[in-house]
Amino acid sequence: MTAACRAEHIAVGSEILLGQIANGHAQTISRAFALHGFFLFHHTAVGDNFERIVKVFEVAARRSNVVVVTGGLGPTDDDLTKEALAAFLGRPSELSPEALRQLESWFAARGRKMPEQNRKQAYRIAGGELLPNPNGTAPGVYVCANGVHYFLLPGPPLEMEPMLQHEVIPRLKQIFGGGQVLVSRVIHFCGIGESDVDAAIKDLTGMANPTVAPLAGEGEMLLRITAAADHEEGARALIQPVEDEILRRFGSYVYGFDDETIASAVGKALRQAGATLAVAESCTGGLVSSMITAVPGASDYMLGGVTAYHNQAKVAWLGVREETLARFGAVSEQTALEMAQGVRERFAATYGLATTGIAGPGGGSPQKPVGLVFGAVVGPDGRQTVVRMQWRGSREQVRLRSAKRVLWELLKLVSPRAEAFPGAQSRA
């Protein structure tokens, strides 16, 4: 086995430093590296400036032995990544006749002549090689110098991602062999505060392998367990007892694992129960429906929904009583409940769900401030839940947190769970 991978990702592009686009590649590459057990210790972003790119290579070469660069391989004068690396390494660039032919046929296949400026994409750094890019004109570059492996990849995600999978990862496996695998397990919680969880896992967060770290989510919280081992099974065997212990302590607040969302967990529970759902939304305005239908196969259990933004729609479409609106107001426990009952009956669904509230920034009053939201869930056999939430935060946060919380209430009604952690207050 050779030395361990100490990787760094460098994103090149002024638009990243101006905040005009997010540096999404950093996350994509980090995920892929973690999945395959390659340690990645730094992200860097730098603008389209020759000298600063060269300096960033200097820093990277001192601390990393794998440098993956995205962006700056296009045909324009602003695309400087390959030129800067050649200058930093002190190596000339050479035209690859084969790459030039491929470029010309790429354009020919699209009925166009190759513009002269694209010619520079067919150059490789001496001693290195070009990496095929089936989805665009910019080939990648691989070159190893002074023990550092450089991979230059194009910026567009649909070009970069296949090259990462098919060119970079396989070469790293060849170079570093079966290194240590890093496996993570993420546990998703709803209805419990971060500090309540934190306080009750002090004995777990101090461990070295696996590590346990709390992550803050929007309207939920997450715990990440990460283990390093020679093989994936070994890492999972380290994770399992810790996961079991966390479930023993907080199992009743856990809705899912890894990439699961509260909406996919609700979908799984409804499918298992052979149940269906209809949704009535006021302040969330379609967000709950949209989250549910974002899950593939949602048509198996999602019958539909009504966005009843106006009182008139609540009465006409959902059968909310005028008397209820007059006496308690549209933002009330009673209205939420009648909305959920109404949408359940009218769609003939097993479960009805409803939200009504004041998402802000306007529309609040001293009695009913911005952020006050009621959620209701109505099921068979008279089972029902109403939850009162009082959020602080932006309109977006109020909507998202309310949507997640009412889906969590639905999940509990569909698959009831014991209160395994009675010490923690369920809090909005």
Q: Which is nearer to its own copies, 141 or 330 (by Cβ)? A: 330
Q: Is 273 among the residues that bind its own copies (CB under 8 A)?
A: no
**Rounded-to-integer distance, Cα 311 and Cα 318, Å:** 10
Q: Which is nearer to its own copies, 14 or 384 (by Cβ)? A: 14
User: Of 96, 102, 307, 385, which one interacts with its own copies (CB under 8 A)?
Assistant: 307
Q: Using only the alpha carbons of the chain, give its radius of gyration.
A: 27
Q: Which is nearer to its own copies, 126 or 215 (by Cβ)? A: 215
| Residue 72: partners with Cβ closer than 8 Å, 6 or more residues away | 12, 13, 48, 53, 78, 79, 80, 81, 82, 84, 152, 155
Q: Is 279 among the residues that bind its own copies (CB under 8 A)?
A: yes
Contact set for its own copies, span 5-24 (CB under 8 A): 11, 14-24
Q: Is 65 among the residues that bind its own copies (CB under 8 A)?
A: no
N- to C-terminal Cα distance for the chain?
51
Please provide the DSSP assignment of 5-55 as one string. Answer: PEEEEEEE-HHHHTTSS--HHHHHHHHHHHHTT-EEEEEEEE-S-HHHHHH
CB of 414 to its own copies, least distance (A): 18
Q: Which is nearer to its own copies, 132 or 162 (by Cβ)? A: 162
**Rounded-to-integer distance, Cα 111 and Cα 268, Å:** 48
CB of 78 to its own copies, least distance (A): 7
Contact set for its own copies, span 325-384 (CB under 8 A): 347, 360-363
CB of 294 to its own copies, least distance (A): 7
Structure tokens at 159: 């070009």
**Rounded-to-integer distance, Cα 210 and Cα 229, Å:** 10
User: Of 1, 158, 208, 418, which one interacts with its own copies (CB under 8 A)?
Assistant: 158
Q: Is 125 among the residues that bind its own copies (CB under 8 A)?
A: no
Contact 149, 131 (CB under 8 A): no
Q: Which is nearer to its own copies, 131 or 283 (by Cβ)? A: 283
Q: Which is nearer to its own copies, 144 or 275 (by Cβ)? A: 275
CB of 129 to its own copies, least distance (A): 26
The DSSP bridge partners found for residue 281 are 307, 355
Q: Is 297 among the residues that bind its own copies (CB under 8 A)?
A: yes
Contact set for its own copies, span 218-237 (CB under 8 A): 224, 226
Q: Which is nearer to its own copies, 26 or 192 (by Cβ)? A: 26
Q: Is 29 among the residues that bind its own copies (CB under 8 A)?
A: yes
Q: Which is nearer to its own copies, 92 or 363 (by Cβ)? A: 363
Q: What phi, psi does 361 have (nearest 5°)?
A: -75, -20
| Residue 416: partners with Cβ closer than 8 Å, 6 or more residues away | none
Q: Nearest to residue 395, comparing CAs of 358, 352, 349?
A: 358
CB of 287 to its own copies, least distance (A): 4
Torsion angle of C-alpha atoms 339, 382, 271, 415, degrees rounded to 10 = 110
Q: Nearest to residue 226, comparing CAs of 242, 250, 247, 249?
A: 242
Contact set for its own copies, span 250-269 (CB under 8 A): none
User: Of 12, 32, 89, 229, which one interacts with its own copies (CB under 8 A)?
Assistant: 32
Q: Which is nearer to its own copies, 62 or 416 (by Cβ)? A: 62
Torsion angle of C-alpha atoms 203, 204, 209, 214, degrees rounded to 10 = -140
User: Of 36, 120, 149, 399, which one interacts with its own copies (CB under 8 A)?
Assistant: 399
CB of 285 to its own copies, least distance (A): 3
Stretches 96-104, 119-127, 289-297, 382-390: which one binds its own copies (CB under 8 A)? 289-297
Contact set for its own copies, span 187-216 (CB under 8 A): 198-199, 205-206, 213, 215-216
Q: Which is nearer to its own copies, 143 or 160 (by Cβ)? A: 160
Contact set for its own copies, span 44-63 (CB under 8 A): 44-47, 49, 52, 55-56, 59, 63
| Residue 135: partners with Cβ closer than 8 Å, 6 or more residues away | 156, 158, 159, 162
